[in-house]
Amino acid sequence: MMENRTTVFYVDDNPKSSRLLASVLEECGFQVITKNDPIEALALCQRTRFDLALLDYEMPLVSGSRLAQEIKFLVPDVPVVLISGRSTLPAAELAFVDAHFGFGTVLDDLLWTMRILVRPKVVTMEDHRPDQCAMTQWADST
């Protein structure tokens, strides 16, 4: 069962928020590879297999949008999810992004979308149950 876990490549320059979200994702069954430096992340994604890229938008040197573009160039089939503190981003910034979660995002929606993007199979409504593990942990941490 463990080998079937979805591997998320998560890049966020803020170590505190990246530790928090990574632990929530792992709690919910994802395997997480975390990088805090977008330049290092780029080098790593050339030699690492992953199912989905989760990128912070605002990072020094390389924005999440730019990193998304590079990742899509290297691994075109891997979905890219961008997270930011803004409610909207210009369309140009989302050109290489499959989903954007901004200010006010519900964690459950993020998890649900990540699962859908990785498994483009037929999904029934029973599959869309709130992640209790995530909800409690997320609530406790805020």
- Amino acid 8 reads V
pLDDT at 32: 97
Sequence-distant (6+) residues with CB within 8 A of 12 are 18, 21, 34, 36, 55, 56, 59, 83
d(CA 39, CA 60) in angstroms, rounded, equals 10
Average pLDDT, the chain: 86
pLDDT at 45: 87
Residues of the chain with pLDDT under 70: 1-3, 120-142
pLDDT at 116: 93
Expressed as residue numbers, the domain containing 74 is 2-141
Instruction: Give the tens place of pLDDT for each residue, 86-109.
Output: 989 999 999 999 999 998 888 999
Cα angle vertex 132, ends 128, 133, to 5°? 120
For residues 79 and 117, the answer to whether their CB atoms sit within 8 Å is yes
d(CA 42, CA 22) in angstroms, rounded, equals 19
Among 64, 52, 50, smallest CA distance to 14 is for: 64
- Amino acid 7 reads T
Dihedral pair phi/psi, residue 49, rounded to 5°: -95, 130
List the CATH number of the domain containing 107: 3.40.50.2300
The total of structural domains in the chain comes to 1
- Rg of the Cα atoms in the chain: 14
pLDDT at 129: 52
pLDDT at 119: 75
Residue 128, token pair as written in the block: 């869309």
Among 54, 65, 68, smallest CA distance to 105 is for: 54
